[in-house]
Every structure is written in structure tokens, then in C-alpha cells.
């Protein structure tokens, strides 16, 4: 904990009267994009772990402390308040660990978690179980979050065969929209298909966002292989496709 408070003090100096001009002029608004960028950079190296992940998590922590410092300057709350609030929340939402409640499964824990949330001040004005899902959440992540939320209240398919049938149904509806050549209708049906596939993945225990991230990385590696082995501006599709198939055979790609 000594290093944590040392970091807090470093930021206090940077934001102080004789501190860094850049740090002193930052606001909540100006730090939004950099904060999000740091979170994604941490996500990028989570699979690697080690020293690189340690550094990226430090960047994320700095932003949290930075926001706490700005709030303290506004007279709203302090870094200590942030730590106290999340600690109290963790204890409150784990009565099976810090209290006398008994649970038999992970689903029991999740059910208790949701029931406890309803009693908390910041959640009492919510009219829908979907309230509280961040508006700016990436669309794929938001689809997963919505589906998990409604599942807790029984609004879900009973078996995976029905979910797969829904995916097939949405594919046909996309094909029909394409025949109509109506862009707005095509966009709507593509959205429905993506939502259905995300739901199917959830039933298979697959995180759609993580699956797509890995596919993006795989595609990028294979396309870089093509770039390294031909002049893409002057190569034919057939030539690039041949290199693509070569890359597919390489287990590292």
C-alpha cells in the first residue's frame, strides 16, 4: 500500500501550483478518451501477462487516481472515499462470505447480487432491469450484457437448438432484405443476425467479443504475411489468396 499512496502524492505534486502544466489543465472530459485507450491497451496484453501487463494496469490505475484527484479538487469525494465505497460494496454483495447467507451455486451468488443491487441507493430509481447498462458500451459487449440481464429473469431460450434455429431464421431474413435492395432493411436484419449469433455464442459458453478479437488478430497476422511476400498494390486476388492459404497452414498464423 505504500506505493499506492506514493503514487497519489506524485499526482498531487503534478496537479499542484508548481506542477506540470499538462497535468494541471486536464479535466474529466479531456481524460475520457485517454482513459478508454489505456483500458484497451491493458486488454491487448492480458493474454501475455508479465511486466507489460503490469505497466498497462499502472496506466489504468493512474487514470482512476487522476479522476479521484479532480473530484477532490471539486469538493465531491476523495481517493479514500473511492476505496471505502467499493470495499463496502464488495462486502455487502458477498453475504455468503462476510455474512450468514448460504449459497449452493454460482447462479445463487448472481441472484443474490442482483437482489442486493436493488436495495442500493444508486439503483433504486431504475425502472428497468436494463437500466444501468452503459450507453457508450461497444455494441457487441452491450448485446451480451442485455442478454445476460434478461436471462436472470427467465427471458431466454430453453435449449440451444432453438437458438441455432433463430440464427438460421435471421440469415434467411437478411437474404430476403438483400433481394429487396433496401439498405435500411438490410441494416436492420444484419443487426438482428449479429444479436442472434451473439446469443448463440453465449449459450455455447463463448464470449463473442473475445472470439471476434482473436479472429481480428488472426486475420491481421495472415494479411501481414501476404504483405511481406508480395507487392499487394500490383498483385492479383489469386496471388494473394494463394499466400493466404500458405499462412493458414502455419500454426503460428
130 part of a folded domain: no
Q: Which of 113, 116, 150 is nearest to 131 (CA)?
A: 150
Whether residue 26 is found in the same domain as residue 85: yes
105 part of a folded domain: yes
Question: What is the pLDDT at residue 15?
Answer: 95
Question: What is the pLDDT at residue 42?
Answer: 94
Is 80 exceeded by the pLDDT of residue 120?
Answer: no
Enter the C-alpha cell of residue 31.
481524460
Question: What is the pLDDT at residue 47?
Answer: 85
Whether residue 167 is found in the same domain as residue 222: no
Q: What DSSP string describes 185-223?
A: HHHHHHHHHHHHHHHHHHHTT--HHHHHHHHHHHHHHHH
Whether residue 150 is found in the same domain as residue 225: no
Q: Rounded mean pLDDT of the chain?
A: 92
167 part of a folded domain: yes
Is 90 exceeded by the pLDDT of residue 137?
Answer: no
Residue 80 sits in a domain whose CATH number is 1.10.287.1080
Whether residue 44 is found in the same domain as residue 101: no
Whether residue 10 is found in the same domain as residue 69: yes
Whether residue 8 is found in the same domain as residue 82: yes
Structural element, H or E, at residue 5: helix 2-15
Query: 226, 232 in Cβ contact below 8 A?
Result: yes
Provide the H-helix boundaries in the chain.
2-15, 21-25, 28-44, 50-73, 79-92, 95-98, 106-119, 139-151, 160-180, 183-203, 208-229, 237-249
Whether residue 56 is found in the same domain as residue 114: no
For the chain, helix (H) and strand (E) counts, in that order, are 12, 0
Whether residue 167 is found in the same domain as residue 98: no
Q: How confident is the model over 223-253, as pLDDT tens digits?
A: 999 999 999 999 999 999 999 999 998 878 7
8 part of a folded domain: yes
131 part of a folded domain: no
Whether residue 73 is found in the same domain as residue 143: no
The CA distance from 173 to 164, in Å, is 14
For residue 252, CA distances in Å to 15, 48, 243 come to 46, 15, 15
Whether residue 78 is found in the same domain as residue 109: no
Whether residue 243 is found in the same domain as residue 162: no
Whether residue 155 is found in the same domain as residue 82: no
Question: What is the pLDDT at residue 121?
Answer: 73
Q: Which domain holds residue 221?
A: 210-249
128 part of a folded domain: no
CB-neighbour burial class of residue 56 (10 A; exposed 0-12, middle 13-18, buried 19+)? buried
72 part of a folded domain: yes
Please tell me the total count of domains within the chain: 4
183 part of a folded domain: yes
For residue 226, CA distances in Å to 42, 239, 253 come to 28, 9, 11
Amino acid at each position: 500500500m505504500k506505493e499506492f499512496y506514493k503514487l497519489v502524492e506524485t499526482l498531487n505534486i503534478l496537479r499542484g501550483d508548481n506542477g506540470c502544466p499538462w497535468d494541471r489543465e486536464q479535466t474529466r472530459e479531456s481524460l475520457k478518451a485517454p482513459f478508454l485507450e489505456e483500458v484497451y491497451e491493458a486488454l491487448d496484453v492480458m493474454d501475455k501477462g508479465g511486466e507489460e501487463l503490469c505497466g498497462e494496469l499502472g496506466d489504468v490505475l493512474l487514470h482512476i487516481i487522476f479522476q479521484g484527484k479532480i473530484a477532490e479538487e471539486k469538493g465531491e469525494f476523495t481517493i479514500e472515499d473511492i476505496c471505502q465505497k467499493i470495499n463496502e460494496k464488495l462486502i455487502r454483495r458477498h453475504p455468503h462470505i462476510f455474512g450468514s447467507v448460504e449459497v449452493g451455486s454460482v447462479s445463487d451468488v448472481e441472484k443474490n447480487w442482483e437482489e442486493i443491487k436493488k436495495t442500493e441507493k444508486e439503483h433504486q430509481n431504475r425502472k428497468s432491469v436494463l437500466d444501468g447498462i452503459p450507453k457508450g458500451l461497444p455494441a457487441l459487449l452491450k448485446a451480451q450484457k442485455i442478454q445476460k440481464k434478461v436471462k436472470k429473469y427467465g427471458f431466454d431460450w430453453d435449449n440451444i437448438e432453438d437458438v441455432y434455429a433463430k440464427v438460421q431464421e435471421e440469415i434467411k431474413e437478411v437474404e430476403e432484405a438483400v433481394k429487396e435492395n433496401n439498405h435500411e432493411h438490410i441494416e436492420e436484419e444484419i443487426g438482428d443476425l449479429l444479436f442472434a449469433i451473439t446469443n448463440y455464442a453465449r449459450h455455447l459458453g463463448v464470449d463473442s467479443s473475445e472470439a471476434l478479437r482473436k479472429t481480428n488478430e488472426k486475420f491481421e497476422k495472415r494479411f501481414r504475411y501476404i504483405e511481406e511476400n508480395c507487392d499487394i498494390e500490383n498483385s492479383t486476388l489469386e496471388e494473394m489468396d494463394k499466400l493466404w492459404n500458405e499462412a493458414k497452414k502455419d500454426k503460428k498464423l
